[in-house]
Structure 1
Amino acid sequence: MQAPQPIAVGDRIAAIDIIRGFALFGVLWMNLYEHRGLMMPNDALDHLPTARLDYWVGFLSEWLMRGKAQALFSLLFGFGFANIIDRLKARGASPAIFLRRTAILLVFGLIDVFLMWVGDILAAYAVMGFVLYLTRNWSTRMLILVGLPVAVLGTPVLELAMRLLMGGEAWWLRLWEEGAAIRADLAMRNDYTAFVAELWRSTWVEWWLTPAVLPYLAQIIGRFLLGSWIFRQGWLGNVSGHTRLFARTTRLALPIGLLMSGFVASVKWFEWLPVWVGATVDQVSMLVLACGYGAAIVMLHLHGRFTRLFIGLQAVGRMALTNYLMQSLFYVFGLYGFGLGLMSYLGATASLGLAIAFFAMQIGFSLWWLARYRFGPLEWLWRSLTYGEAQPLRKPAGTAAAMPAE
C-alpha cells in the first residue's frame, strides 16, 4: 500500500481550473450584489445616484449569474471529491484521507463565517462533504438517480413542506430582515469586535438553527452527487475526445438556460404561480445554465480563443481557496466601516464594477504567484495539513512559468 499523496501539478485538468476561475468571478459578483439582502436593507438602494441604472444591471445580474456560479462551484466540488477518491483507491491508500481534507476545509470555513463574511459557503460545503463521503461506493447510476431529483426538487419540496407545517409563514424571513439592518449598522461603524459578535449571533440564530438551512443543504448534496457522476463519465478528463458532446451541450444548454433564467428573473412567482413551481424552474435553470457556461468555456478553450483570459482564469482556479478567502478580506477592508466603507454605494452597478476590478487584481496576483510557487499559499497549507508534512512550495530555479498543459 502506497502512502497517500496529493495530486501533482502536472496531473491537474486545465478545463476544470478555468471553469473554477470563472465560477469564482461569479461568486464575487453575486456576493457583492447580494450584500443588499445579507448586509444592508433594500430601501437604502433606492436613494443611490445609480438607482435607475441599478434596476437594469440588477436584472442582468439575476438573469446571467444568480445561483449559476454557486451551482458550478458545487458541481466542481463533487467532481473533485470523486477525483480524489479515485486516485486514493488507485494508489491503495485509504479514502479516509478525504475526511481530514474536509475537516481542514471546515476550519477555513468557520474562520471565514465567524470573522469575515456571513455569506460563507465553505463551512456548508465541508459539512455536506462528510455526507458525500458516505456515497463513495455508490454506483454511477445511483449518483444520478439520487443527485438529480435532490438537486432540482430538494429545495422546492422542503420549502413547501415547511410552509405547510408552519401555516405558510416563514418566520425566519423576518429574522433575516432584522439581521440585515443590524449588520448594516455595525458594518459601517469602526468597531470590528461588535461586528464579529454579530457574525457569531447571526450564523446560528438566522441560519443553522432555522429550518431554512435544510433546503440549502439538500441543494448542495444533490449537486455534489451530480458532480461525482460527471467525473465518472470521463468527459472533463479528456475534453478533446468529447468535442461533439461539449458542442452539443453548448448549443442546447446555453440558450435554454438563458431563456429559463430570463423567465425567472422577469416573473413575480408569488403573484400567479405556486411557490414550489417557481422554485423548481429556478433550480433547473441554474443547473442548465451552469452546464451551458461550463461547456462553452471548454469549447472556447479547445479552439484557442480568449487564450490570455483563460490563462488568467486557470491561475485563479488553481488558487481557488486563497482567492475565495481573499474576496472575504476584500468585503471586510473594502466595504465596511473599518475599511474603505464602500458598502453604502453598493448598488447593482457598483457591485459589477467592483467585481471586475478586484477580480482583475486577483488574476494578476495569481499569475505572479504561480510563476514562482507550485500552489497558492492556502492551497499549500491545506495540502500540507492534509498529508501531514510540508509540501514543496517554491518552484525550482529556471522552471517555466507557463500553466500546465492539459
Structure 2
Amino acid sequence: MNPLQDRPGQTVPLPAATQQADRIQELDLIRGIALLGILIVNMQVFSYPVIYVSELKLNWWEGMWDRMAEAFIAFVAQDKSRPMFSFLFGLGFMIFVQRAEQKGGRPLALFARRLLVLLGIGLIHAYFIWFGDILVTYAVLGFFLIFFRGRAPRTLLRWACGLLLVPAVLLTAAGLLEGPGIFGDPQLKAAAPALIEQSLQAYGQGSWKDIFAQNSFDWQIALAGYLTLSPVLFAMFLLGAYAGKTGVFQHVAEHRKRVQKVWIGSLALGLPLLLPALMFEKSEPAYKFVEFIGLWLTGPVMSLFYICSILLLAQIPLWRRLLAPLQAVGRMAATNYLGQSVVCTWIFYSYGLGLYGQVGPAGGLAIAAAVFGAQVLFSNLWLKRYRFGPVEWIWRTLTYGRMSSIRKGGF
C-alpha cells in the first residue's frame, strides 16, 4: 500500500490549519530557546571560515575572552541545539498527522506536500542566502518519517537508539584502532589553508558573484556533513515521534514522572561525556575524537536534558511567565531562522558591513544576543496583529492549497 495514500479512492477535505487554541505552548517555548542555541553556534559559521579552521585544529582566536566564549559555546550549545530541533520536527510530524486525522484529512499526502514546500524554501535559503541551511536535509529525511507513522512507540524508540548507538560504536572502535585521523577528511584538510584564504576574500571583500560561488562550494561541504549526521538527525526525529505518539507533550501532567526520569538520566549520562570537551586543546589528537563523540552521543543526550528541563520549568507558573516572550519566537521559527541568516550575512559579508573574519567568538556572542533580542521583540509585536509569521503563512498557504487569513480577525 502506498504510504502516502490513507484512504485509497476516497476524496476527503483538507483539514484546517492549526488554530492558536490548539497549539502546545511548551513546543513553541522549546523552539524559541533552540533558535537561540542555533544562532549562537551558527554565529561562528557566519563570521569566519570555522569549517576549514576546525579541519586544521587551529586555535584561530587567542584572546582570553574569545577562548572563554569558545568554551562556553562548546559546553552549552554546540551539537545540542540541532538535535533539539530535530526532536521537535519528529514530534511536529506526529502531532500534524494526528490532528489531520481528527479533522478528516489525508495526513500523509498533506505532510508530503508540506515537505516539498519546505524543500523549496530550503533550496532558496541555501543557494541565495547562506550555505549552512538545514531545511533541505530536514525535508529529505522527513519523507522517511512517513514509513514510521503506523509503528508502535516501542519500535520508534528501538530504531532511534539503534541509529544513535550502532554507528557511534562502530566508528568509535575504528577510531580507537586507527587513530583520530579517521574522523577527518584528509583531502579537505590538505585544501583547508587555501580555502580559508578564499573564504576570507570572497565573503569579506568579494562581489556578489564571488560570494555566490563560494557559498555554492561551501554548501557542498555542509551537505556532506549533514549526510554523515543523517542517522543522528533521523534518530532525533524518531524520538520526537515517540513523544508525540505517547502523548507526553499533549498531557504533560500525566507524564511528569517519565519526563523527570529522562531529565535525570540524560544529565547523568550526558555530563560525563560533555566534560572531556573542555579538557583538550584543538591541536591535541584526542580533540577530534572528543568532538566526534559530541556529535553522535553527547549532543543528542544533552538535548533531551534541555528539552525536559524546559518542559518541567514551564509547569511552574513563575517560570512560565518569565519564559513566555520566547514562545512568540518559536511560533515564528521558520521566519526567525531565515531572518538570522539574512541579518548575519549582512553583518559579515561584503555587501553589508563586511566584518567577515574580524569578529571573534566573544563578539559573536554579543551580536547573537542583540539579534535574538530583536527577534523576541519583533515576534511578539508581529503576533499581536497577525496569526502567523510571514514564512509560516506562505508555508501554510502552499501546503493547504488555499489562502489563509494572516491578520487576526481577517485580512
One of 161, 176, 184 as aligned partner of 2:200: 184
Report the equivalent of 1:21: 32
1:91 is aligned to 2:103 = yes
State the distance in 2 between where 1:80 and 1:112 align: 22
Superposed, 1:27-42 pairs within 5 Å as 27-35=38-46, 36-38=48-50, 41=53
Contact conserved, 1:322 with 1:378, CA < 8 A, in 2?
yes
Name the amino acid aligned to 2:22. Answer: D
Name the amino acid aligned to 1:102. Answer: L
Report the equivalent of 1:402: none
Distance 1:71 1:112, change over 3 A: same
State the distance in 1 between where 2:358 and 2:283 align: 30
Superposed, 1:308-319 pairs within 5 Å as 308-319=321-332
State the distance in 2 between where 1:298 and 1:112 align: 31
Name the SS of the counterpart of 2:66 in structure 1.
helix
Contact conserved, 1:152 with 1:280, CA < 8 A, in 2?
no
TM-score (normalizing by structure 2): 0.85
Contact conserved, 1:19 with 1:317, CA < 8 A, in 2?
yes
Name the amino acid aligned to 2:214. Answer: E
State the distance in 2 between where 1:278 and 1:41 align: 14
Q: Deviations over 1:321-360 (max 9, x none)?
A: 0000000001221111211123333212112111111100
State the distance in 1 between where 2:188 and 2:198 align: 14
Distance 1:364 1:194, change over 3 A: same
Contact conserved, 2:53 with 2:192, CA < 8 A, in 1?
no
Name the SS of the counterpart of 2:318 in structure 1.
coil
State the distance in 1 between where 2:300 and 2:60 align: 35
State the distance in 1 between where 2:377 and 2:320 align: 15
State the distance in 1 between where 2:192 and 2:240 align: 31
Q: Which moved more, 1:260-269 or 1:237-246?
A: 260-269
Contact conserved, 1:154 with 1:219, CA < 8 A, in 2?
no
Report the equivalent of 1:396: 409
Contact conserved, 2:132 with 2:222, CA < 8 A, in 1?
no
* Structure 2 segments unaligned to the other structure (5+ residues): 1-11
State the distance in 1 between where 2:268 and 2:171 align: 29
Name the amino acid aligned to 2:185. Answer: A
1:257 is aligned to 2:263 = no
Deviation at 1:194, TM superposition (A): 1.7
Report the equivalent of 2:79: 67
State the distance in 1 between where 2:323 and 2:340 align: 20
Contact conserved, 1:151 with 1:221, CA < 8 A, in 2?
no
State the distance in 1 between where 2:187 and 2:201 align: 20
* Structure 1 segments unaligned to the other structure (5+ residues): 398-406
One of 231, 237, 241 as aligned partner of 1:228: 241
One of 56, 65, 76 as aligned partner of 1:53: 65
Distance 1:230 1:267, change over 3 A: farther
State the distance in 2 between where 1:309 and 1:180 align: 42
One of 333, 338, 357 as aligned partner of 2:370: 357
State the distance in 2 between where 1:9 and 1:194 align: 44
State the distance in 1 between where 2:170 and 2:283 align: 16
Distance 1:347 1:309, change over 3 A: farther
Contact conserved, 1:33 with 1:346, CA < 8 A, in 2?
no
Report the equivalent of 1:77: 89
Distance 1:129 1:158, change over 3 A: farther
Distance 1:343 1:160, change over 3 A: farther
Report the equivalent of 2:23: 12
Contact conserved, 2:335 with 2:390, CA < 8 A, in 1?
yes
Distance 1:238 1:213, change over 3 A: closer
State the distance in 1 between where 2:273 and 2:51 align: 29
One of 214, 217, 238 as aligned partner of 1:198: 214
Deviation at 1:27, TM superposition (A): 0.2
Deviation at 1:309, TM superposition (A): 4.1
TM-score (normalizing by structure 1): 0.86
State the distance in 2 between where 1:33 and 1:152 align: 29
Name the amino acid aligned to 2:244. Answer: F
1:173 is aligned to 2:184 = no
One of 289, 307, 313 as aligned partner of 2:302: 289
One of 140, 143, 147 as aligned partner of 1:134: 147
Q: Which moved more, 1:104-113 or 1:306-315?
A: 306-315
State the distance in 2 between where 1:356 and 1:269 align: 26
Deviation at 1:268, TM superposition (A): 6.3
Contact conserved, 1:109 with 1:121, CA < 8 A, in 2?
yes
State the distance in 2 between where 1:273 and 1:329 align: 36
Contact conserved, 2:94 with 2:149, CA < 8 A, in 1?
yes
Report the equivalent of 1:117: 130
Name the amino acid aligned to 1:27. Answer: I
Distance 1:207 1:71, change over 3 A: closer
1:246 is aligned to 2:246 = no
Note the aligned Cα RMSD (angstroms).
3.0
